[in-house]
């Protein structure tokens, strides 16, 4: 078995950058053992050995306040990493070392990666890493993850630590009254069959850790022990006091350790971040600037993606399709196969793949936003607005992530500490229009509003946000009452985005998009093709085919919204498998078109500007795709809420698109 | 020493955290992020929306509701 190295650290410490630097393209997403929560994992080579690297969620602590923290510490205690690399931001060493103390408490083998030393130096913060290492009792290696500096030394130290047994661990003291009780508790826990070290469990119990309490009481009968009960009741009285005392002790430990180890300039110099923030978080300008940035992103995506690249993609797909068909004709393939390949596969899958350049641009821009540190500012400027609808600023980050894809969007809600906030954030996330829906809008934009692309796209997204806000408000007044949690958010310094991070993030998303085109979309398209040409003898892709009949059965539902055609119905229905399938299906059923321009022409014939708008509203809001529903199931652990999500969003989409069509008609649009 | 809530402080003011009464979760979270007793905090922005403070050379935004529940000792 190869060794396992886990990466732990605070948010914004450069953990992702280090993970990317270590693993390169050798990474994938898997599930945590036991729980169905996704995690990132990769491999790195050092010397002639291969090591497994696991990226833990970025957290400030290893308590039980958020899902992220539980996931991280659960891996450390029961996933048995051979060593944990603790990424520490050198510019903010005290707070970062707080997590380090918790790692030491767990009896884990730790190596500290003192990251961002370049930034620390430029801010005249000097850290004596040798002294730090000596006091912590673990190796400390200076790194600049963004420039891949210190990576080899880090690996060398990590492997060395992993090879030898743990010795001479630093022992924290939490003050007499707590230390004494830890000993007592350890006595009680002795002999129990727990998978955690008893001293750690004892500490967590005194800290009032809900997870540890539940674990111990479910796996032992300590509760029935009278002696224990008496002890425990007495502890309960002091719970809050102990909690704070334990945190203070850790900070005191950190304070002692960093004394004379860290040197800072006496007067803080005003940094670029401060200057930029003066504008970006301005009380009046902050919000319009944020809106302008988002608008610019859509405009740029549209301009660059469509005009420059979209065309040659279409030509390329046309070419591939033509070549394939030519080849098939050449080898005397049966007519049905030629039709399947040319009109089913190439048309359907091609209709999706054509949009790749656009999606590449969108994800690159979103990645820049994320890597620069602006995301936290967006949450900041939105907090007031979010609060007005019963949510909080942090929720907004999961919403922006949802613009890329709702699956990570729903997962990003894990940082919300309060159950109510989290449930609402999950339920409204699918209203954030994801990248896979873009092809749908673009086809309709190209058909009816070619000169207002960016504006229409922006409006669609804005409508999604508005509906999300409205539903947030309704949910917080009805289904999930209670206090909105407080807003606490670090505003990291603005940093020059690391190109490889941005590209990596883009590629993760785009490869997912391509993979879906080759799997789900291909499968859906193949199935639909079969349904579209059967029963034998009917006109293929006609209303008499099985597909046509199914479509006709569903279509009346959409009549009031103006697009009660069987083709639209089938398209929407297949979109539940994956949103790209909507365009793929439309591409196929509208006369088996070969490429985008013909689909656009076909759309222009059967839709009107008004029904195009109501159709876009429908696709924006209706039932989330299967992958998102699956993630909602995982994250809420509830089939009931998953079904609820599937149906209520359909209801809202239906009502709004009907409203658009009916009101539009009354107003004289067509 | 005079105590006041964080929300009453103005831009540029420097203070020390005395006590936080914002419920267990938020209090613990703040403590863990370094707002423990005695921590030195500088108010960087306090107008609309969350208040921004500097703590150990880094910036943290805190909801106004939270800033009302944070008791601090102002230092000159
Ligand atoms: N100057 C500098 N920037 C870095 C370093 N490591 C990462 N960054 C940047 O810091 C920001 C946050 O890094 P990221 O890896 O996303 O942090 P995470 O939240 O811990 O995963 C990004 O803009 C990175 O490009 C470093 O060693 N020096």
Are A203 and A168 spatial neighbours (Cβ–Cβ below 8 Å)?
no
Q: Which residues approach ligand 1 with their CB closer than 6 A?
A: A 9, 11-17, 58, 115-116, 118-119, 144-146, 371, 495, 497-498, 501
Cα–Cα distance measured from residue A230 to residue A236, given in angstroms and rounded to the nearest whole number: 10
Residue A264 buriedness (CB in 10 A; 0-12 / 13-18 / 19+): middle
CB-based contact, A58 to chain B, within 8 Å = no
Same domain for A140 and A255: no
Per-residue pLDDT of A649-665, as tens digits, reads 999 999 999 999 999 88
Per-residue pLDDT of A508-532, as tens digits, reads 778 877 877 777 777 877 787 778 7
Same domain for A235 and A183: yes
Cα–Cα distance measured from residue A320 to residue A519, given in angstroms and rounded to the nearest whole number: 19
Note every long-range contact of A504-512, with CB atoms under 8 Å and residues 24 or more positions apart, other chains counting.
A504/A20, A505/A363, A505/A366, A505/A367, A505/A370, A505/A371, A506/A360, A506/A363, A506/A364, A506/A367, A509/A359, A509/A363, A509/A404, A509/A405, A509/A435, A510/A356, A510/A359, A510/A360, A510/A363, A512/A405
In a domain, A275, yes or no: no
Same domain for A435 and A303: yes
pLDDT, average across residues A40-63:
88
Whole-prediction pTM value? Answer: 0.81
- Hey, which residues 108-147 in chain A have their CB within 8 Å of chain B? 123, 125
Sequence spans of domains, chain B? 4-74
Same domain for A320 and A456: yes
End position of a domain, from candidates A136, A163, A190: A163
Same domain for A471 and A437: yes
- Name the band, by pLDDT with cuts 50, 70 and 90, for residue A35: very low
Tell me: pLDDT of A36 over 60.
no
State the greatest distance between any 2 C-alpha atoms of chain B, in Å, as a whole number: 31
Same domain for A183 and A124: no
Higher pLDDT, A254 or A360: A254
Same domain for A514 and A558: yes
Instruction: Look up tokens 């239906």; give the residue.
Output: A654
Per-residue pLDDT of A427-455, as tens digits, reads 999 999 988 888 888 888 888 988 887 78
Same domain for A332 and A445: yes
The C-alpha of B29 sits at a distance from chain A's nearest C-alpha, in angstroms, of 8
- Which CATH number fits the domain that encloses residue A240? 1.10.287.1770
In a domain, A339, yes or no: yes
- Which CATH number fits the domain that encloses residue A106? 3.40.50.300
Tell me: pLDDT of A668 over 90.
no
Sign of the dihedral through C-alpha A144, A149, A151, A157: negative
Name the residue among B24, B33, B45 with its Cβ closest to that of A488: B33
User: What architecture (CATH level 2) is domain B4-74?
Assistant: Roll (2.30)
The C-alpha of A167 sits at a distance from chain B's nearest C-alpha, in angstroms, of 27
In a domain, A496, yes or no: no
Per-residue pLDDT of A548-602, as tens digits, reads 888 888 888 888 988 888 888 888 988 888 887 888 788 777 755 544 677 788 8
CB-based contact, B14 to chain A, within 8 Å = no
Residues 6+ apart with CB under 8 A from A81: A4, A5, A6, A54, A75, A108
Per-residue pLDDT of B19-40, as tens digits, reads 888 887 788 888 888 898 888 8
Note every long-range contact of A171-180, with CB atoms under 8 Å and residues 24 or more positions apart, other chains counting.
A172/A101, A172/A104, A172/A105, A172/A249, A172/A250, A172/A253, A173/A249, A174/A203, A174/A245, A174/A246, A174/A249, A175/A245, A175/A249, A178/A206, A178/A242, A178/A245, A178/A246, A178/A249
Per-residue pLDDT of A484-512, as tens digits, reads 778 888 888 888 888 888 888 888 778 87
In a domain, A497, yes or no: no
Same domain for A477 and A558: yes
Residues 6+ apart with CB under 8 A from A139: A111, A112, A133, A157, A160, A161
Same domain for A300 and A219: no
Domain interval for residue A50: 4-163
Distance A6 CA to ligand 1 centre (A): 18
**DSSP SS3 for B19:** strand
On average, the pLDDT of chain A sits at: 84
Residues 6+ apart with CB under 8 A from A594: A318, A321, A342, A343, A346, A347, A350
Tell me: pLDDT of B5 over 80.
yes
- Name the band, by pLDDT with cuts 50, 70 and 90, for residue A305: low
Distance A16 CA to ligand 1 centre (A): 7
The per-residue pLDDT for A34 is 44
CB-based contact, A158 to chain B, within 8 Å = no
Strand B51-55 to A140-142 pairing: unpaired
Are B19 and B37 spatial neighbours (Cβ–Cβ below 8 Å)?
yes
- Hey, which residues 16-35 in chain B have their CB within 8 Å of chain A? 22, 24-34
Higher pLDDT, A333 or A74: A74
The per-residue pLDDT for A211 is 85
The per-residue pLDDT for A30 is 54
Cα–Cα distance measured from residue A61 to residue A139, given in angstroms and rounded to the nearest whole number: 21
What are phi and psi for residue B69, nearest 5 degrees? -100, 10
Residue among A412, A498, A503, A508 to mutate when testing ligand 1 (max atoms within 8 A of CB): A498
Same domain for A647 and A544: yes
The per-residue pLDDT for A234 is 85
Tell me: pLDDT of A37 over 70.
no
Same domain for A247 and A359: no
Beta-strand runs (E) in A103-225:
110-115, 126-127, 140-142
Number of domains in chain A: 3
Per-residue pLDDT of A309-365, as tens digits, reads 556 666 777 777 778 778 888 887 777 777 777 766 776 677 667 777 777 888 888
């Amino acid at each position: 078995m190869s060794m396992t190295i886990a990466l732990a650290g605070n948010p914004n410490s450069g953990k992702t950058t280090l993970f990317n630097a270590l693993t390169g393209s050798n990474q994938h997403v898997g599930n945590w053992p036991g729980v169905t929560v996704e995690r990132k994992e990769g491999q790195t080579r050092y010397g002639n050995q291969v090591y497994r690297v696991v990226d833990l969620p970025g957290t400030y602590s290893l308590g039980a306040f958020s899902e992220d923290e539980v996931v991280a510490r659960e891996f450390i205690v029961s996933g048995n990493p051979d060593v944990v690399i603790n990424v520490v931001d050198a510019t903010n060493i005290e707070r970062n070392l707080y997590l380090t103390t918790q790692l030491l408490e767990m009896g884990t083998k730790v190596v500290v990666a003192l990251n961002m030393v370049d930034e620390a130096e430029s801010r005249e913060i000097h850290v004596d890493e040798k002294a730090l290492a000596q006091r912590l009792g673990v190796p400390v290696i200076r790194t600049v993850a963004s420039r891949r500096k210190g990576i080899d030394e880090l690996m060398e130290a990590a492997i060395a630590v992993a090879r030898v047994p743990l010795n001479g661990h630093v022992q924290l003291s939490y003050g007499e009254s707590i230390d004494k009780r830890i000993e007592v508790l350890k006595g009680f826990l002795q002999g129990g069959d727990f998978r955690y070290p008893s001293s750690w469990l004892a500490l967590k119990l005194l800290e009032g850790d809900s997870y540890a309490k539940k674990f111990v009481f479910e796996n032992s009968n300590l509760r029935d022990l009278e002696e224990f009960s008496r002890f425990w009741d007495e502890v309960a009285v002091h719970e809050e006091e102990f909690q704070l005392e334990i945190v203070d002790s850790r900070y005191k430990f950190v304070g002692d350790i960093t004394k004379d180890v860290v040197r800072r300039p006496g007067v803080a110099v005003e940094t670029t971040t401060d200057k930029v923030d003066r504008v970006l978080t301005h009380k009046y300008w902050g919000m319009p600037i944020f809106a302008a940035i988002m608008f610019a992103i859509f405009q740029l995506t549209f301009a660059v993606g469509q005009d420059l690249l979209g065309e040659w993609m279409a030509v390329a797909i046309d070419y591939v399709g033509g070549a394939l068909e030519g080849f098939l004709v050449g080898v005397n393939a049966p007519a049905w196969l030629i039709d399947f390949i040319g009109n089913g596969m190439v048309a359907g899958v091609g209709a999706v793949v054509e949009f790749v350049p656009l999606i590449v641009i969108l994800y690159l821009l979103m990645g820049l936003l994320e890597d620069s540190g602006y995301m936290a500012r967006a949450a900041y400027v939105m907090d007031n607005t979010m609060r007005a609808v019963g949510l909080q600023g942090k929720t907004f980050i999961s919403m922006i992530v949802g613009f890329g894809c709702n699956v990570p969007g729903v997962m990003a809600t894990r940082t919300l500490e309060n159950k109510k906030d989290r449930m609402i954030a999950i339920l409204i996330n699918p209203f954030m229009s994801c990248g896979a829906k873009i092809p749908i809008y673009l086809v309709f934009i190209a058909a009816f509003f070619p000169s207002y692309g960016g504006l229409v796209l922006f409006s669609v997204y804005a409508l999604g946000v508005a509906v999300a806000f409205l539903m947030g408000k309704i949910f917080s007044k009805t289904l999930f009452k209670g206090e909105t949690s407080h807003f606490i958010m670090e505003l990291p310094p603005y940093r020059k985005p690391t190109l490889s991070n941005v590209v990596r993030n883009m590629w993760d998303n785009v490869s997912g998009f391509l993979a879906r085109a080759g799997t789900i979309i291909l499968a859906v398209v193949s199935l639909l093709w079969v349904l579209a040409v059967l029963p034998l003898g009917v006109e293929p892709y006609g209303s008499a085919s099985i597909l046509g009949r199914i479509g006709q059965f569903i279509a009346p539902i959409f009549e009031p919204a103006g697009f009660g055609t069987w083709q639209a119905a089938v398209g929407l229905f297949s979109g539940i498998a994956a949103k790209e399938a909507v365009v793929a299906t439309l591409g196929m059923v509208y006369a088996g078109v070969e490429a985008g321009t013909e689909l656009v022409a076909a759309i222009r014939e059967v839709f009107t500007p008004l029904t195009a708008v109501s159709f876009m509203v429908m696709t924006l809001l209706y039932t989330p795709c299967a992958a998102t529903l699956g993630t909602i199931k995982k994250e809420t652990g509830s089939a009931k809420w998953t079904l609820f999500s599937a149906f209520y969003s359909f209801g809202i989409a239906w009502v709004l698109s009907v409203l658009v069509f009916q009101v539009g008609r009354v107003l004289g649009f067509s | 020493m005079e105590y006041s809530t964080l929300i009453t402080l103005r831009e540029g003011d420097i203070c020390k955290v005395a006590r936080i009464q914002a419920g267990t979760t938020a209090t613990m979270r703040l403590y863990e992020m370094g707002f423990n007793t005695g921590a030195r905090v500088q108010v960087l922005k306090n107008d609309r929306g969350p208040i921004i403070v500097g703590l150990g050379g880094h910036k943290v935004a805190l909801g106004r509701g939270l800033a009302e529940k944070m008791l601090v000792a102002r230092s000159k």
